[in-house]
Structure 1
């Protein structure tokens, strides 16, 4: 059974470096597979590449421009030679970063704009998430309420392979905010802010025909009241453990305040056992308490450390928490990372596990030493 617990007050850690350069909120960060480069994208419609070989003295390598909307997602291909950036202009751009100082742009992957778009928070339509398969051939994109799979084996001639609706009931679905392939490439996890099916596992053994095999729903203290007052808790972020045996989701632990018309949300991190991917089992959870009455603290970002022993979560209330997940049934908060202002929108571990990058509404990228 799942075990929920609020973290104690672990000692806070300050940032190892504070990276500026974006003029507005930063929505996404990603490390290159060799750990040398850090890519970030933001509401200023740009992607910045930095060399973080020496985290104390990062240097800007290149600024990538051309999107006509906020950059919501970036991802490196596993070989490190290609970078994908997805934006609010409904496009994904593939960049050849073999020479990071002279990135070359391929033709954009263009997605169809919906006839009707119900906007949700700071997710204002377009491409919200991107992720490469482990072999680098396939790219999954979260585009409004759909998941789109592309064959990018030849970046000069990408081929759209499949488009699936995240929620079968379109009117009850929200933007697809997270996508991630499992380590074996056969599973794809997605998250959205719909009332139902907010987390979905897909079998993509045949990428042209993705099959929905399971739904993971976050915790809600009273689903019936939650759905009538504030909507079901969203899955804003997903992350597979390095061995593929567990899935982490970041959401809100939603409950209804007695005597009011609204709802309140604690941040919630949940772990799911994928021994049988068709029947995921929630093994453990942890909540981030609200610092003040009336605040909200939904978890917008989760990331496993490369060794799989730690999980980082980033909250709407600017809290970054490190969790010990060696016992999946009993998550234990080990550190609170400070320095970001505003909602934490993305987190990424460097492949060696010694550095964590975070970004958010405050417009900066922070690096923390996690060694």
Structure 2
């Protein structure tokens, strides 16, 4: 299957399908390459997409900020969300590569968060995806948002920034409940797990994974003096396991294992224990670009999708989750 390096935009481990973009068309494929749906669009070029956690919905956004939502099985369009300020979206396509999660569904599929950048004002919008989609929150940011994640109860949204800040918002009230800043390192991914919130950061120093205590945020109250309670750092899981520019992160559904890779230039995936950061394996990857890594729903397999080093074709590789004694492919 031939593909240009920027065509793969979303992968759903829940139902083992991926979305491939070609100018004004979105193709949904099984991992064996079987075409399931072709969504034809008109207007601006589509340049990013994301599946819902259960793989039932797909959202995509154009270079001018228009966002659409479809039913994956039927191909029916369910929503069309207009950009806040479309006249200032011309540059959106040029930095979407740096936003790991600028389109994020809530766990129950009822909400969709969009990282906006109209002009110089950074903004995150949250939309309710009912019968009549509506904007339910607009969260102004002091820095460009690089990644986002909803809490497991769908009530909170955590935003990470390119400047190193991490903010926890109550969606219903639109109030920021907690904030922490870790220097100037970019927050490139955040993932909720049963153990807490895993945060990936990268800067001039080696990239790191850090675990934050979620109950300390969820149950926090205002501190004396009106200070906002900060996110409490629990454990630094890993630092500099292979290269300084991690930008792909996968956490097993049970929260026991992690996997990291780099979008460009990486020749390996590092798999390790989330609780200790100890690597289990370094899996060789014969790809010049890794587009996506994800654990299977039962956590026993790891899928990597990217572009072959040999011929540039789209390549899908599935690994059995390695153990210290046995590493198989």
Displacement of 1:279 after TM fit? 3.4
List alignment gaps of at least 5 residues for structure 1: 1-19, 168-172, 224-231, 255-263, 292-296
Q: Aligned equivalents of 1:279 and 1:41: distance in 2?
A: 39
> Residues 1-371 of structure 1 correspond to what in structure 2 (within 5 A)?
20-26=1-7, 28-31=9-12, 33=14, 35=15, 37-42=16-21, 44=23, 46-52=25-31, 57-66=32-41, 68-76=44-52, 78=54, 80-99=55-74, 103-111=75-83, 112-113=85-86, 115=88, 122-123=95-96, 129-144=102-117, 145-154=122-131, 157-167=132-142, 173-174=143-144, 176-193=145-162, 195-197=163-165, 199-204=166-171, 206=172, 209-218=173-182, 223=183, 232-241=184-193, 243=194, 245-252=195-202, 254=203, 264-277=204-217, 278-282=229-233, 283-288=235-240, 297-316=244-263, 317-318=265-266, 319-325=268-274, 327=275, 330-339=276-285, 341-342=287-288, 344-359=290-305, 364=314, 366-371=316-321
Q: Tell me the alpha carbon deviations over residues 160-195 of structure 1, each in whole angstroms, 9 at most, x when there is no partner.
A: 11211232xxxxx22x232221211122222221x3
Q: Aligned equivalents of 1:203 and 1:333: distance in 2?
A: 35
Matched positions, count: 297
Counterparts in 2 of 1:116 and 1:64: CA distance versus 1, 3 Å? closer
Displacement of 1:95 after TM fit? 0.8
Q: Aligned equivalents of 2:186 and 2:99: distance in 1?
A: 18
Q: Tell me the alpha carbon deviations over residues 103-152 of structure 1, each in whole angstroms, 9 at most, x when there is no partner.
A: 12245212124749888974379996222222221111122332110010
Q: Tell me the alpha carbon deviations over residues 181-227 of structure 1, each in whole angstroms, 9 at most, x when there is no partner.
A: 1211122222221x352x222222x1xx3221222444xxxx5xxxx
Q: Aligned equivalents of 2:279 and 2:65: distance in 1?
A: 37
Higher relative contact order (CA 8 A, sep 6+): 1
1:14 corresponding residue in structure 2:
none
Q: Aligned equivalents of 2:24 and 2:288: distance in 1?
A: 19
Displacement of 1:90 after TM fit? 0.7
Q: Tell me the alpha carbon deviations over residues 15-61 of structure 1, each in whole angstroms, 9 at most, x when there is no partner.
A: xxxxx44333245333164x2x4123457564332234xxxx45222
Displacement of 1:91 after TM fit? 2.0
Q: Where in structure 1 do 4 or more consecutive aligned residues deviate above 6 Å?
A: 116-121, 124-127
TM-score, scaled relative to structure 2: 0.76
Counterparts in 2 of 1:77 and 1:153: CA distance versus 1, 3 Å? farther
Counterparts in 2 of 1:182 and 1:110: CA distance versus 1, 3 Å? same
Counterparts in 2 of 1:90 and 1:42: CA distance versus 1, 3 Å? same
Quick check: which one's strand share is greater? 2
TM-score, scaled relative to structure 1: 0.69
